[in-house]
């Protein structure tokens, strides 16, 4: 079975500092990887997916199949980045359902 691990429950950084959220997964095949974000009092929403190879709100994530990681990075954190971030994986054989990590709460201090 597939599993997603986010080792940090809380990341606290100052505004303008870099932030990196770690995500590791276990799956023997070729999964799709995603980052979802939940801002305060808002619904969970897609931030980015690895197949798009795009930067959203300054965030990027690179899939490293050798290390089975999909870490999320932003060089200069902003206060509006404070939110809960979830790494997720989906596999074709299991429909499109997402398996989520435990989440990392990011707090960007002024």
Partner 1 sequence: GAGVSQSPSNKVTEKGKDVELRCDPISGHTALYWYRQSLGQGLEFLIYFQGNSAPDKSGLPSDRFSAERTGGSVSTLTIQRTQQEDSAVYLCASSWGQSSGNTIYFGEGSWLTVV
Residue 3 as a binder of partner 1 (CB under 8 A): the answer is: no
CA distances for 108 relative to 12, 16, 67, 96, angstroms: 6, 9, 28, 32
Residue length of the chain: 110
Token pair, residue 16, equals 């303008």
- Could you tell me which stretch among 13-21, 62-70, 72-80, 85-93 binds partner 1 (CB under 8 A)? 85-93
Q: How far is the CB of 43 from partner 1 (least distance, A)?
A: 5
Give the nearer residue to partner 1 in terms of CB position, either 30 or 110: 30
Residues 6+ apart with CB under 8 A from 86: 6, 35, 36, 37, 38, 44, 100, 101, 103, 104
90 binds partner 1 (CB under 8 A): yes
Write out the binding residues for partner 1, residues 25-84 only, by CB under 8 A: 32, 43-46, 51
Residues near partner 1, by CB under 8 A: 32, 43-46, 51, 86, 88, 90, 92, 94-103
């Amino acid at each position: 079975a597939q599993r997603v691990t986010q080792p940090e429950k809380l990341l606290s950084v100052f505004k303008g500092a870099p932030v990196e959220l770690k995500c590791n997964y276990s799956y023997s095949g070729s999964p799709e990887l995603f980052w979802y974000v939940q801002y305060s009092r808002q619904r969970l929403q897609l931030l980015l997916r690895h197949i798009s190879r795009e930067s959203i709100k300054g965030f990027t994530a690179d899939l490293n199949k050798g290390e089975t990681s999909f870490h999320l990075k932003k060089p200069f954190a902003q206060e509006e980045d404070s939110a809960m971030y979830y790494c997720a994986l989906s596999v074709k054989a299991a429909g499109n359902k997402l398996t989520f990590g435990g989440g990392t709460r990011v707090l960007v201090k002024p």
